Each structure stands twice: as structure tokens, then as C-alpha cells.
């Protein structure tokens, strides 16, 4: 919510630090993403005051550097947590790489994090299929949508062979509840 104020509020180091800490408390973030968020905040406040945001860039850099120094922002830890989350949700390696780079993580950190990833592409594809209710998890009344589902998986970054295997796989025994087992 915007506050109704007749005067523009000043941009100060204290305000920027409070805004940064508030953001970091609510969201995991990378250094570059935090920098973008703070630049947007400064630009909004500078526009309200009728001034340019460029003179406040050193404040943004100092704030980001201070949070990194305090350990509140850690690109390596963020990359590892984001990778785990994405792979659990069924994101492919290609999609995971794109999302990590999109958040402003350096390519070296992304590559090192992907090297430590133990999730097989087939496991991630199975999670994706389950989450999207494709293949063996499809509702009975939805008809045969195999080709569309494979195309969606390929667009999501899975290799064609992995996508076909995941769509054509039998339902997991844990997921399928049959009346004979009771």
C-alpha cells in the first residue's frame, strides 16, 4: 500500500538498509536479485522526489555489500536451495539452469551447484509428470493427450527420450490405489 504523503520521503542509507533487511527476511534471494529490487525501490522513491536514481547507486552497492558481509545474502546457499526446490518440483536441468541464471547468479556458481546435483533427469521427469497429471497420472476422462504432454515436457527442457519414458511409464504403486490390495 502506498502512503499518502504530501512530501517525498528522502532516500537514506538507513531506509535502504531497512528495506533490504525486510526483503531478505521475507524472501531467499541472490546478490544480483537483491540489487535489482533495491534499484527499483530507489527509482520509485527518487521519481516521487523528482530526482534521478543514479546518484544513489553507491548506497545500493554499499547495502548489498553489507548484507553479503553479514551473511544474510549468500549466492551459493541460495543456488543450492533453489536447485533443490526446482528439482523436487520436477524442473529439468535446462530449466533449472535458466531459472538460476535469471535470478542473477554467476555462471560459475550455477555450474558448481549443478555438478553437486544428485537428482536424475528421469526422477525430475517423474515428478513433473505427477505434478502436471500427465501420462499414468491423467484423469480417466481426459482422453489420450500423449503427444501434447510429450511436447509440453520437451518445452520444459526434458530430452525427448526422457519425456517419452516418463509419459509411457506405469503409475507408481504408491500412487495407484487398487481395490485388490485391501
Please, what is the end-to-end C-alpha distance for the chain in angstroms?
55
Could you say which DSSP state residue 169 is in? S
Cell of 25: 527476511
Cell of 11: 532516500
Q: Do the beta carbons of residue 113 and residue 76 sit within 8 Å?
A: yes
Q: What distance in Å separates the CA atoms of residue 98 and residue 77, rounded to the nearest whole number?
A: 17
List CB contacts of 161: < 8 A, sequence separation 6 or more.
none
State yes or no: pLDDT of 149 exceeds 50. Answer: yes
**pLDDT, tens only, 28-39:** 999 999 999 999
pTM: 0.76
State yes or no: pLDDT of 50 exceeds 50. Answer: yes
Amino acid at each position: 500500500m502506498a502512503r499518502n504523503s504530501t512530501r517525498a520521503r528522502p532516500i537514506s542509507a538507513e531506509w535502504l538498509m531497512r528495506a533490504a533487511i525486510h526483503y531478505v527476511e521475507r524472501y531467499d534471494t541472490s546478490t544480483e536479485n537483491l540489487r535489482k529490487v533495491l534499484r527499483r525501490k530507489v527509482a520509485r522513491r527518487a521519481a516521487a522526489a523528482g530526482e534521478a536514481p543514479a546518484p544513489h547507486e553507491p548506497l545500493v552497492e554499499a547495502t548489498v555489500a553489507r548484507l553479503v558481509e553479514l551473511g544474510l545474502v549468500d549466492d551459493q546457499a541460495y543456488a543450492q536451495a533453489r536447485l533443490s526446490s526446482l528439482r523436487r518440483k520436477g524442473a529439468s536441468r535446462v530449466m533449472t539452469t535458466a531459472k538460476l541464471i535469471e535470478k542473477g547468479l554467476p555462471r560459475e556458481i550455477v555450474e558448481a551447484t549443478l555438478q553437486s546435483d544428485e537428482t536424475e533427469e528421469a526422477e525430475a521427469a517423474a515428478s513433473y509428470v505427477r505434478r502436471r497429471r500427465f501420462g499414468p497420472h491423467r484423469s480417466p476422462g481426459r482422453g489420450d493427450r500423449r503427444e501434447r504432454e510429450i511436447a509440453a515436457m520437451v518445452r520444459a527442457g526434458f530430452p525427448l527420450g526422457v519425456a517419452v519414458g516418463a509419459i509411457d511409464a506405469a503409475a507408481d504403486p504408491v500412487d495407484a490405489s487398487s481395490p485388490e490390495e485391501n
